[in-house]
Amino acid sequence: MTQSLIAIIILWGFVFIYAVMATMDFGAGFWSMFYINNEKTKATNIANRYLSPTWEVTNTFIVALVVAVYSMFPGAAYSLGTVLLVPGSLILLLLAIRSAFLVFSHVADDYYKPLTYITGITGILIPGLIISVLPISHGSYIDFDNGQELDLGKLFTSPHEFAFFGFAVASTLFLSSLLLADYSKTSKEYEAFKVYRRDAMIIGPISVLMAFLIMWTMKSEATWLYDRMLEDRNLLLISLLGFVIAGAALFLPTNKEGMKGMPRVAVIAVICQYVIASYVYGKAHLPYIIYPEVTVQSGFTDPDSFRAVFFTYIAGFIILFPGFVYFWSLFMNDKRYLRQKED
Amino acid sequence: MDELVIARSMFGTTMAFHIIFATLGVGIPLMILISEIVYQRTNDLDYQIMAKRWTKAFAVLLGVGIPTGTIAGVQLSLLWPGFMEVIGRVMALPFQIEIYAFFIEALFMSIYVYAANRIAPWMRIVSLVLVCVGGLASAVLITNVHAFEGTPAGFEMINGEIRNVEPWKAFFNPSFFVTAGHVALSAYVVGSFTIASVSAFKMLRNPFGSRVYKFHQKSLMICLAVGGVFALLTALNGHESAQKLHEYQPEKLAAAEGLFETQDHAPLSIGGFTDRENQEVKWGIEVPWALSFLAGNSFDTEVIGLNDFPEEYWPPLFVHTLFNAMVGIGSLLIVIALGAFAWKKWLKKDRFPKWMMWVFVAGGPLSILAIEFGWIFACTGRQPWTIYRILSTEDSVTTTGNLAVLFGLFITIYAILAVSVVLVLLYYFKRNPPEKDIQKAEGKQKDIPLST
Ligand code: HDD
Ligand code: HEM
Ligand code: HEM
């Protein structure tokens, strides 16, 4: 395997991890707003219990992602930086408001509600904007003759972009409601569990519909990618199977408290679905980072630099892994935290 | 306005805003750690209350520090793609390692805040130490990129192409240790003097000798002690920074000192404004021979003046004023801390006069100003280069136009964040005055959970 291929696989891994963590993060923020007036179900409490300790860690992944792009593909960083100036800045602006107000909402009790509304709404827009990087990388909205300029008008009137945007928002809500259903089950919050299970069942089909919409619009907007993705149609079908399994898992056995379904199985099945689908997408996208100008090889860094960076990944992983495990055991797995009476 | 000027202003504004929260984010955890340790050794509950209150303030500041830092990191690639392309090839290591530092800080900060009542006291200390290490490491590493911009190393530029990259040599570039040390030490100065400001202000507002007055007095005294030590170390290290400039970026030192003619036994000009036309520093105080001595530890040292460089390589000359302001504030802070201890220990007075209290109140804002002046001096004094003598600012900037609108949006967001963070802090501490914490603590004499 060439070094540049290893590098792009690492990058893909980071993107995937961030995508999952970010859907949980922004989704939880949205649900905590959505159920703010519904005190009986504790749905907001559950969302906050997940969100409070994790948002910082999730945020660090964005930075890790950006750093990974320019340390492994500095050649691509030039073009990406240039075309993403406007969408990137919009994401940053929303993110600044979202993160700051999230913290403020837990400190200034009297203003909890308005602050939570701002947090929830800005938060749910962010995944939609972040995913726009993908249609932009398909190349048809960039004017390469004119010093790599992004045609914003064309981008934001294209159905392809809207399909991606809708997909990001729908999957954010879908995956986060599944996770929160699982989290409420572990916390033994029956009412909240029912709410999130119902939400997942409503939004799941919408997110699959959006995925089809992406493929359908891709046919005309990025034909090269569409054709290549269909070469792996079997994998795409398997990925769809993951969705069916998730759906089935939500109807499965009832435990003694009457909580229907096995949300953890559903979460895992959906994540598998996304892994496979994004593998097919990524494979079809290769070797282009931005079609058709920037490829994995043309953007790749100096081999010595790559070796040094790769070494720090290994060292960093070894150092950080125990920290992540400890964090997990304190916030995802500690009954004292999960089943606290009051938030 | 010229797009390059907008890009420079926009990035400078972002950094100037981020640095306030970032520096406090490095400095305050050390103070929290110190007060936790003092508490665990003396069992004086006041110190635990301090730790708790400072943690709350720190958590709120993080709410702005993290998103603005994210803006800084991403904006670097959005506004300066030419620069980041070189950095990506040669100097990716510090950014990469910094990510691990951020993770350590984020993980253990959450643990310290949200799990405090479920972990053992020694684990609280360990978590805090890791928060401090994470914050310090991120400051040191990001500063390393800045150090590299001034003293690039570890690669060669042959016909516009980067060759012979040695990433670790770039990492350990000549000014890394001195510059990173300066930033770290000065962050501790800012952390302690800022808390001292608040304590002094609260002492002025409460009757002498009251319970709350004494609480703030304890806080003031440890802050001044820590702040004084670090202010002294910062100055010593700053002296070494200046010597590095003499060695590696002589035109920057010349601009900082307003020196036009190359000479030995060079004089040091303090204060005043550099006048380009008459090639002199107006209204400054001149100390004969001092500059030569500062630059090379001997009066014979030849210091190179601006006239030895083509004028298009001159940094903006107002950096002289920025440099003097930083050094002036640094010296003043040392005097403040020494004065306070002389008053207490030698003169054995039990209270500070009012004017002195107001000087303590001024210390925090002044220290933040010193940070701002220092950074603007360091970055603007590097002009016209982003990487000294290798990459010009002009060649680093983005080719996308329409920056003005974005600049406006970012300024608006910073204004909103600045106002709201102050309001939130005021709101919280008005709602939860120290009296309340003291009563609660004395009421149950048990561990108070730190989380909300
Ligand atoms: C509380 C803050 C603070 C204080 C009291 C001082 N400094 Fe400073 N200084 C900084 C905060 C700072 C800084 C903001 O952190 C800078 C900007 C870039 C850097 O490396 O550190 C800096 C830069 C900086 C530089 C430029 C380095 C470069 O451009 O590469 C020099 C020569 C000095 N300082 C020297 C001093 C001296 C002689 C001081 C004597 C008291 C001093 N500083 C006090
Ligand atoms: C955090 C405190 C900092 C402040 C207040 C600050 C301030 C500034 C200012 C005012 C400018 C515009 C300079 C001019 O055009 O006259 C600038 C430019 C710049 N700074 Fe800094 N800076 C800071 C830290 C850093 C660090 C740590 C780095 C290294 C990663 C850095 C890298 C740059 C770059 C690449 C530019 C743009 C190119 C240039 O103008 O040279 N800055 N900064
Ligand atoms: C010397 C100047 C700087 C110092 C001391 C510093 C320090 C810090 C600290 C301590 C944090 C964590 C938040 C907090 O504790 O408040 C932080 C956040 C951040 N800083 Fe800075 N920073 C500096 C300059 C920069 C520059 C120039 C960049 C960009 C190139 C940057 C990028 C970031 C990023 C991306 C974050 C968010 C990290 C996260 O998501 O956890 N910082 N910075």
The pLDDT value recorded for residue B408 is: 94
When the pLDDT of each residue in chain A is averaged and rounded to a whole number, the result is: 86
Ligand 1 atom with least separation from CA of B375: 17
Two structure tokens written together for B328: 């002036």
Q: Is residue B95 in some structural domain? A: yes
Q: Is residue B450 in some structural domain? A: no
Using the beta-carbon criterion (under 8 Å), do B106 and A57 form an inter-chain contact?
A: yes
When the pLDDT of each residue in chain B is averaged and rounded to a whole number, the result is: 89
Q: Is residue B447 in some structural domain? A: no
Residue A157, chain B, CB below 8 Å: the answer is no
Amino acid at residue number A176: S
Taking chain B, what is the end-to-end CA distance rounded to the nearest angstrom? Answer: 48
Residue A72: which residues within 8 A CB-CB, separation 6 or more? A7, A8, A10, A11, A300, A301, A306, A309, B88, B92
The pLDDT value recorded for residue A257 is: 63
CA distance A283 to A279: 6
**Please, which pLDDT band fits residue B451 given cuts at 50, 70 and 90?**
very low
CA distance B138 to B146: 13
The whole-number average pLDDT for the span A14-36 is 89
The pLDDT value recorded for residue B210 is: 86
Could you tell me the residue ranges of all domains in chain A? 3-201+294-338
Q: Is residue B234 in some structural domain? A: yes
The pLDDT value recorded for residue A254 is: 65
**In 10 A of CB A295, how many CB atoms?**
18
Using the beta-carbon criterion (under 8 Å), do A327 and B111 form an inter-chain contact?
A: yes
Q: Is residue B295 in some structural domain? A: yes
CB B392 near ligand 2, within 6 Å: no
CB B190 near ligand 1, within 6 Å: yes
Q: Is residue B449 in some structural domain? A: no
Q: What is the pLDDT of residues A78-115, one digit of tens each?
A: 888 888 888 999 999 999 999 999 999 888 888 888 89
Q: How far is CA A34 from CA A45, A113, A173, in A?
A: 12, 11, 11
Q: A-chain residues within 8 Å CB-CB of B387?
A: none
The pLDDT value recorded for residue B444 is: 61
Q: What is the pLDDT of residues B192-201, one digit of tens each?
A: 999 999 999 9
The whole-number average pLDDT for the span B261-274 is 83
Paired residues of B268 in beta bridges: B287
CA distance A291 to B401: 22
CA distance B228 to A271: 54
Best CA proximity match to A210, nearest among A243, A162, A176: A162
CA distance B377 to B373: 6
Using the beta-carbon criterion (under 8 Å), do B413 and A84 form an inter-chain contact?
A: no
The whole-number average pLDDT for the span A59-78 is 88
Environment class of B263 (CB within 10 Å of its CB; exposed 0-12, middle 13-18, buried 19+): middle
Residue A99, chain B, CB below 8 Å: the answer is yes
Nearest by CB to A104, from B77, B96, B424: name it. B424
CB B23 near ligand 3, within 6 Å: yes
Q: What is the pLDDT of residues B199-235, one digit of tens each?
A: 999 999 988 888 889 999 999 999 999 999 999 999 9
Q: Is residue B448 in some structural domain? A: no
Bridge-based pairing state of the strands B280-282 and B273-275 = antiparallel
Which ligand gives the minimal distance to the CA of B369?
1
Best CA proximity match to B128, nearest among B117, B143, B139, B112: B112
Q: What is the pLDDT of residues B347-384, one digit of tens each?
A: 777 788 889 999 999 999 999 999 999 999 999 999 88
Portion 27-56 of B in contact with A at CB < 8 A: 56
Share of chain A above pLDDT 70, in %: 94
The pLDDT value recorded for residue B401 is: 74
pLDDT over 90 (residue B29): yes
The pLDDT value recorded for residue B452 is: 42
Q: Is residue B134 in some structural domain? A: yes
- Test mutation, A78, A145, A333, chain B, max B CBs within 10 A: A78
Q: How far is the CA of B146 from the centre of ligand 3 (A)?
A: 13
Share of chain B above pLDDT 90, in %: 52
Q: What is the pLDDT of residues B85-109, one digit of tens each?
A: 889 889 989 999 999 999 899 889 8
Bridge-based pairing state of the strands A294-295 and B156-158 = unpaired
Ordered alpha helix ranges (H), B43-164: 45-79, 81-90, 92-114, 121-150
Share of chain A above pLDDT 90, in %: 21
Q: How far is the CA of B356 from the centre of ligand 2 (A)?
A: 36
Give the residue with greater pLDDT, A186 vs B325.
B325
Q: Are B195 and B215 within 8 A, CB to CB?
A: no
Structural domain boundaries, residue B131? 3-437
The lowest-confidence range among A78-82, B171-175, B330-334 is A78-82
Q: How far is CA A267 from CA A168, A247, B230, in A?
A: 17, 10, 51
- Complete DSSP assignment for B256-324: HHT--S-BSSPPEEESSEEETTTTEEETPEEETTHHHHHHHSSTT--B--GGGS-GGGPPPTTHHHHHH
For chain A, state the CA radius of gyration: 21
Please state whether the peptide bond connecting residue A287 to the residue before it is cis, i.e. omega within 30 degrees of 0.
Answer: yes
Q: Are A97 and A142 within 8 A, CB to CB?
A: no
The pLDDT value recorded for residue A1 is: 64
Ligand 3: residue whose CA is nearest its atom 15? B25
Q: Give the pTM.
A: 0.91
Two structure tokens written together for B327: 């050094």
The pLDDT value recorded for residue A242 is: 87
- From B17, B66, B149, the mutation candidate for ligand 3 (largest count of ligand atoms within 8 A of CB) is B66
- Reduced to 3 states (helix: H, G, I; strand: E, B; else coil), residue B191 is helix
Two structure tokens written together for B348: 């054995």
Nearest by CB to A71, from B88, B400, B409: name it. B88
Give phi and psi for A39, each to the nearest 5.
-70, -25
Nearest by CB to B88, from A89, A301, A327: name it. A301
Q: How far is the CA of B39 from the centre of ligand 1 (A)?
A: 33
Which ligand gives the minimal distance to the CA of B140?
3
Residue B233: which residues within 8 A CB-CB, separation 6 or more? B185
Q: What is the pLDDT of residues B30-42, one digit of tens each?
A: 999 999 999 988 9
Two structure tokens written together for B337: 């801390």
The pLDDT value recorded for residue A258 is: 65
Q: Which residue of A has its CA nearest to B58?
A: A103
Q: What is the pLDDT of residues B118-168, one digit of tens each?
A: 888 888 889 999 999 999 999 999 999 999 999 999 888 888 788 888 889
Q: What is the pLDDT of residues A146-179, one digit of tens each?
A: 777 788 888 888 888 999 999 999 999 999 999 8
